[in-house]
Amino acid sequence: MIRKLLSDMRSWSFWQWATLGAALLFFVLLVLPLLNLVLASFRPSSAWGPGGTSFIGTYVEFFSYRYYYSTLINSFLVSTLATLFALLIGFPLAYLVNRIEFPGKFLVRVAVVLTFVSPPFIGAYAWILLLGRNGFITQLLKSIGVTLPSIYGWKGIVLVFTLQAFPFVFLLCSSGLRSIDQSLEEAAINLGRTRLGALWSVILPLMVPSITTGALLVFVTTFADFGTPQIIGEGFRVLASLIYSEYVNEFGGNPRVASTLSVMLLAVTIGALLLQRAFAKRYAYGQEAIRPLGVYRLSPLGTFVAALVVYTIVFAAFLPTLTIIVSSFLKSQGPLLLPEFSLQGYRLASRLPLAFRNSLVYVTTATLLCVVVGSLLGYIVSRGRGRLVAAIDTMSMIPFAVAGVVLGIALSITYGGPPFYLAGTGALLVLAYFIRRLPYTVRSVSSMLHQIGVQQEEASINLGVPPARTFLRITVPQVTPALVSGALLTWATTAREFNSTVMLYVGQTRTLPVEVFTQVLQGNFGAASVVGTVLIVTTLVPILILFKVFGEDEDVLV
Amino acid sequence: MNSRTSTRLRLENVTVRFPGVTAVNDVSFEVNPGEFFSLLGPSGCGKTTLLRTIAGFYRQETGHIYFNDQCIDRIPPHRRGTAMVFQNYAIFPHLTVWDNVGYGLRARKVKKDEAARRIRAALELVDLVGLEKRKPKQLSGGQQQRVAVARAVVIEPHILLMDEPLANLDAKLRIRLRTELRKLQQQLGLTTIYVTHDQEEALSLSDRIAVMFGGKIAQLGTPEEIYQDPASRQVAEFVGEGNYLQGEVTQVDGGSVVVTFPTGAVVRAELSTAGSSGGPAGSSGTGGRLSKGAAVVVSFRPHEVEVMPQGNEDAPNCLEGTVQHLDYLGAIVRYHIDIGKGMTVLAEHYTMKGVPARQGDKLVVRIPPERIKLFDTEGTRIRGRSS
């Protein structure tokens, strides 16, 4: 049997080899590390180590000690609340922006883009600058005798998560709204419903897939987020922060406990993904609008209220970024920011160049890898057939469900030590970025190819151009714009990557987001703002190119 | 551009199988040089598969395909010299009209000025002069269709293959382009294989038609033969409307057969002898099975009857009934006539001669004996004994 396979392989074509290579790649970079992680959580260390000699020892301990299991409850609490609030903000915002006429809608785009380009925890730090003990607004209100409730703890986490995540809901709901035909609403009104009644009885049910996808995205990203709770939580510990402190511990950390916790996190995020899939599938109608839902006019008062609601949300979303940028130009003394403009922060940012250079090198390398490997894989997935291709397709979906923290630990325990010794190298970071973003490239290439269809390739072959040249002349030119815009997006997204970086970096390989985080934790708010501003600009540039040159809009960000 | 002499296409026992299905089952036919040949059938009958096999996108499991006398089984699709017009046109969106049409010439390394001359000629042929610099996105559906045709004919293919090229156009445009397509094909003298599920399209365009069901050719013949002399009930039903009334043979006299319906009505049919068209073997000369008492299906087309007012019901070959409802279509009126025992007859009448009956009125239809076709209960055509 093996001999037959080997003799078959001798006559394999390029694409068959590429398919095998792709499957191996996913196995080595993704399946193996995750397997390793799961195994590590079950591997008894020593009689007095954590978990003892029992296979499920660490799991038993997790559910026996409040210190452990409370983090799971906390994570569920903040993520559920954040999801709920993000839906409550995101959906109405999408409806108002897409359906009601009022001026200044482009501000919503700006706000959405800005929340996207700032790294996840930067909001936490900005809100501390505004509402913290010495916060700008806190001081302002104190001077007129008003005391605000504390921003620290779960309330602050939920606030930051909500503002960080509602754009996802907004974008998904907006595109969901655009897929509903105007005639459906007209039919509902014609049959005696009010417009609000039509929203409730027709539009909302049709949007279940978009809404649940948005909810899932919010839940999964916030559940696995580590930076925000660390900065604004002040002792309110979630699962992700526990993983971090167990793994990156002054006493060397404990891989088995960290693995156990990671498996738990993995289980929750995969569970949420499967739940949403099943749910959305039942409510998916595969509709397409010939004439999408239109815009209508409200009474002057109604328009005013609608605009006010939208502007308020936009302002709240915009505020953290504004705070960071403004404060980066303020004079600072440790945690104190003085009301005096200065470029001191930029001049004295001695730690900035290395972090900037690291980010540039790692992110660019990972992006290039993504483009090359991703387009190859995209072609295989969309044009190939057979069990191996199906396996690749499935494996390429895994990174969607694997949180950065988890991937970081999995890669670290698999390739950090012997025989690879990649711990503390930039290579490990590049691998993590590469594997995390690969699915997006694969998906965009394969859907692009799917859209182009095979008929154009066939037409070309039929007209006399052999397959390889057909690929170059017909397929490549059409996929290139998608590839380049995909690369820009990958670049922007990876530049702000934090959750897996924090598990894998050492001083010499620190990136911009890590540097912001370090400065915040050390209380150097001025320096943090400077690095944060550089990071915001770094991620904003490719996004702007994407919009201006490639005519994309904010929909590409989800 | 008529420089190449036309190609003869021959298929010999071609079978194409996919996992679990035999899409084309032992098909043989020959298409004459310059002939317009249609493959007609419902979706899933194997007609597109057959077309794509001729283009080389599928490989037949058994059988051979010949262009003139050259077997092309082993020639890869890009060297077969068949030009295909795809249903969705498959125009290259990143190339201009000019570059789309010139695409196949470039692949053939035709010299630049020669290519330019041929592209211009092709664009003139399809009436697209002046749109050379447009991108496909800026063209209407009809214009895109013309680009696809120009791109195919410009390479002077051995065989022109068309896969429902008019299916994505609106009805009026479809009929106009149909005429243009036919004119163009005759002008170029290109051997053309045309796939369609639209019987009217096939009838109006083709020199000959192969009607396909379940991967097999059910009948092959000229449009007239297919329509007037269907080899089976399946073909008759697919190509045009008809009445199919079950009755019992009560008298056989050579080619003259008398059938009695459950209602008691009696009709006489003059059966034609063995068909002039080459239907599958066994469908002709089955008069021997026609014994008294045999169950048969009497078939005739709605426009083949004569509609008469009440009072003629006792004349030979007349059926009487009540008008259930009627469709007034301008030139003609269509009567749905209940003749009793749950049997309905569809009959057409030219309004030029007046509208003889309204809903609920009694009406008589006369069926000319030579118009009647008989099928057995399996749907096989029953013909008269050729004596």
Digit-coded pLDDT (tens) for B220-270 = 999 999 999 999 999 999 998 999 999 999 998 878 899 999 999 999 999
CA A549, A552, A558: angle at the middle one, nearest 5?
140
Find the residue in A nearest to B104 (Cα): A463
Q: Is residue A522 part of a domain?
A: yes
Q: Where are the alpha helices (DSSP H) in A224-299?
A: 227-232, 239-247, 255-282
Which of A387, A452, A462 best tests the B interface by mutation, with the highest count of B CBs <10 A?
A: A462
Q: Quote the number of domains for chain A.
A: 1
Which of A461, A474, A478 faces B78 most closely, judged by CB atoms?
A: A461
Q: What's the pLDDT band for A219 if we cut at 50, 70, 90?
A: very high
* For residues A293-309, average pLDDT: 88
* A458, A463, A464 member nearest B57 (Cβ): A458
Q: Say what the pTM is.
A: 0.73
Q: Is A477 on the interface with B (CB under 8 A)?
A: yes
Q: What is the pLDDT of residues A30-59, one digit of tens each?
A: 899 999 999 888 887 665 666 666 778 788
Which residues of chain A neighbour B107 with C-beta distances below 8 Å?
463-465
Cβ–Cβ contact A458 with B under 8 A: yes
* Calpha distance A127→A317 (Å, rounded): 11
Tell whether B55 lies on the interface with A, counting CB pairs under 8 A: yes
The residues in B 74-93 lying below 8 A from A, measured between CB atoms, are 76-84, 86, 88, 90-93
How far is A526 from B23, CA to CA, in rounded Å? 72
In the predicted model, what is the mean pLDDT of chain B?
89
Determine contact, residues A532/A122, Cβ cutoff 8 Å.
yes
- Among the partner residues B83, B93, B94, nearest to A462 by beta-carbon distance: B83
Answer yes or no: do A474 and B155 touch at CB < 8 A. no
Taking residues B324-345, what's their average pLDDT?
93
Pick B83's closest partner by Cβ from A463, A465, A477: A463
Environment class of residue A154 by beta-carbon count within 10 Å: exposed (0-12), middle (13-18) or buried (19+)? Answer: middle
B9-233 architecture in CATH? 3-Layer(aba) Sandwich (3.40)
Residue among B347, B307, B311, B312 at smallest CA distance from B327: B347
Nearest CA in chain A to B93: A478
Residue A65 lies in a domain: no
CA A448, CA A484: separation in Å to the nearest integer? 13
pLDDT band at A13, cuts 50/70/90? low
Q: Which CATH number belongs to the domain containing residue A376 in this structure?
A: 1.10.3720.10
Q: Are strands B362-366 and B306-308 parallel, antiparallel or unpaired?
A: antiparallel
Band (B287; pLDDT cuts 50, 70, 90): very low
Confidence of residue A442 (pLDDT cuts 50, 70, 90): confident
Residue B288 predicted with pLDDT over 70: no
Q: Determine contact: A465 vs chain B, CB below 8 A.
A: yes
pLDDT at A291: 78
Nearest CB to A462; choose among B55, B92, B108: B55
- Please, which residues 120-139 of chain A have a Cβ atom closer than 8 Å to chain B? none
Q: Is the pLDDT of residue B84 over 50?
A: yes
For residue A283, the 8-state DSSP code is T
The three-state secondary structure class of B37 is strand
Q: Which is higher by pLDDT, B196 or B309?
A: B196
- Please state the rounded mean pLDDT for residues A281-285: 76
Residue A271 lies in a domain: no
Closest CB to A464 among B86, B90, B104: B104
> How many whole angstroms separate alpha carbon B192 and alpha carbon B9?
10
Mutate to test the interface with B, among A463, A471, A480, A483 (most CBs of B within 10 A): A463
Record: contact A462-B92, CB cut-off 8 A: no
Verify whether the Cβ–Cβ distance A456 to B90 is below 8 Å.
yes
**A226-238 pLDDT, tens per residue?**
889 988 988 899 9
Distance from CA of B74 to the nearest CA of A (A): 15
Residue B285 pLDDT grade (very low, low, confident, very high; cuts 50, 70, 90)? very low
Query: B38 CA to chain A: closest CA distance, Å?
Result: 20
Our CA-based measurement puts residue A460 at a distance from the nearest CA of chain B, in whole angstroms, of: 7
CB within 8 Å of chain A, chain B residues 108-137: 108
In the CATH hierarchy, which top-level class contains the domain B242-300+368-387? mainly beta
- Residue B78: list chain A partners with CB under 8 A: 461-467, 470
pLDDT at residue A342, as a whole number: 82
Average pLDDT over residues B203-217: 96
* B108 neighbourhood in chain A, CB within 8 Å: 464
Question: Can you tell me the distance from the alpha carbon of A212 to that of A91, in angstroms, rounded to the nearest whole number?
Answer: 11
- The reply to whether residue A459 touches residue B82, judged by beta carbons under 8 angstroms, is no
Using a CB-CB cut-off of 8 Å, the residues of chain A touching B80 are 462
pLDDT digits (tens, 9 = 90+) for B4-36: 578 999 999 999 999 889 999 999 999 999 999
Write down the pLDDT at residue B280: 44
Helices B171-188 + B141-153 axis angle, to 10: 20
Task: Please list every residue in chain A whose beta carbon sits closer than 8 Å to the beta carbon of residue B84.
Answer: 458-459, 462
Which residue does chain B place closest to A478, by CA atoms?
A: B94
A517: in domain: yes
Tokens of B306: 């004569």
Highest mean pLDDT among A103-117, A329-343, A501-515, B59-73: B59-73
Answer yes or no: are the C-beta atoms of A182 and A294 closer than 8 Å.
Answer: yes
Which candidate from A453, A458, A464 shows the least CB-CB separation from B107?
A: A464
Q: Which of B82, B107, B151 sits opposite A465 (nearest CB)?
A: B107
pLDDT at B249: 93
SS3 label, residue B22: strand
Give the type of residue at B377: T
Both tokens of residue B256?
Answer: 């003259």
3-state SS assignment for residue B333: strand
Q: How confident is the model at residue A78 (pLDDT cuts 50, 70, 90)?
A: very high
> Contact B82/A462, CB-based, under 8 Å?
yes
> What are the DSSP calls for B339-371, one per residue?
EETTEEEEEEEEGGG-----TT-EEEEE--GGG
Q: Which residues of B touch A475 (CB under 8 A)?
A: none
Contact (Cβ atoms closer than 8 angstroms) between residue A30 and residue A395: yes
What is the mean pLDDT of the segment spanning A99-113?
Answer: 84
Q: Which A-chain residues 373-432 have CB contacts (< 8 A) with chain B?
A: none
**Taking CB atoms and an 8 Å cutoff, what residues of chain B touch A456?**
90-92
For B92, the closest chain A residue by CA position comes to A456
In this predicted structure, what is the pLDDT of residue A196?
83
Quick one: closest CA in A to B162, which residue?
Answer: A459
Structural domain boundaries in chain B:
9-233, 242-300+368-387, 306-366
Within a domain: A368: yes
Cβ of B89: how many Cβ atoms within 10 Å? 23
Q: Does A144 touch chain B (CB under 8 A)?
A: no
Task: Please indicate whether the domains covering B242-300+368-387 and B306-366 agree at the CATH topology level.
Answer: yes
For B306-366, the fitting CATH number among 3.40.50.10540, 2.40.50.100, 2.30.33.40, 1.10.12.10 is 2.40.50.100
Query: Residue A474 is nearest to which of B77, B88, B92, comparing CB atoms?
Result: B92
Tell me the shortest Cα–Cα distance from B250 to chain A, in angstroms: 57
**Residue-range definition of the domain harbouring residue A453:** 349-558
